[in-house]
Structure 1
Amino acid sequence: MNIETRIPTVKNPPEQFIGDVWFDPIIAPHDADQRMSGGLVRFAPGARTAWHSHARGQYLRVTEGVALCGTRDGTVVQATPGQTIYTPPGEEHWHGATGDCFMQHLALLEGADDPAETTTWLEHVTDEEYRRR
């Protein structure tokens, strides 16, 4: 049994996010046999990810505020604290906060065989795509 050392909060890169987003890593693989990773992600009002997909899917458990999650077909769902959003493997999507309050979620995903393929980052979400709700 190990007690993990706290890893400092990091601000997520502007190439993958619009607005201010912070990430607190919670779990990461310790060796090649482990795949689970996750962290607590906090979005400022109006902040959002770029379009992206995950090789093995992703779970987002909302802990604060209202989360928005959009897919390429134009669907945007809202989730509130206690609700979980699942995006299946390969589904291009984005997620973020509404324009008027912070949002926080726990993001959990399983790594791909090649870690570089776990998440595929794409272009930024336009304001028009973000406003579709």
Structure 2
Amino acid sequence: MQIVRGRAAGSAPSQSRTDTFTGTVWADPVLPTTNGNTMNSVTFCPGARTYWHHHTGGQILVVTAGRGWVQSLGEPPQVIRAGDTVWVPPGERHWHGGTADTIMTHLAVSIGPTVWLDEVAEDDYLAALSVVAEEVTAR
């Protein structure tokens, strides 16, 4: 057993993520990468998001602050809020990020390597916004 208080010694410093993210995104590694597995606390500014991607062993997202979206390819976007936990099965193409007007911070546990794909197009992101807005209005 290992207890990590805050973050493990030897973890990389907080990083601005740019190559596979749109907008302003900060990642704070909680544990060093081990066997391709990673654990990061990730904060998305409003409108920021990942590129489409998948994980060879799946991913767990635990939302710790704010409100955001997650969407799997071919599915409608889902609103996620502080306290929510998301399981993304191995190989499932998806993206996640902040809403247009709020930050979102989540703990991301990625099992195995991440396979990065294309950027979520602005038109697709805006379409996701409209779908979520319709759902919220209908409630």
TM band (smaller chain):
0.7 to 0.9
Where do residues 1-133 of structure 1 align in structure 2 (5 Å cutoff)? Answer: 4-5=8-9, 7-13=12-18, 15-29=19-33, 36-111=37-112, 118-131=113-126, 132=128, 133=132
Structure 1: runs of 5+ lacking an equivalent: 112-117
Gapped regions of structure 2 (runs ≥ 5): 133-139
Task: Judging by fraction of residues, say which structure has more helix.
Answer: 2
What's the Cα RMSD here?
A: 1.9
Q: Percent identity?
A: 37
Q: CA deviation at 1:2?
A: 8.1
* Structure 1 residue 36 displacement after superposition: 4.0
Displacement over 4 Å in runs of 4+:
none
- Contact kept in structure 2, 1:62 and 1:106, CA below 8 Å: yes
TM-score, normalised relative to structure 1? 0.84
**Amino acid in structure 1 at the alignment position of 2:13:** P
Q: Which amino acid aligns with 2:17?
A: N
| Length, aligned pairs only | 123
Could you state the TM-score of these two structures normalised by the residue count of structure 2?
0.80
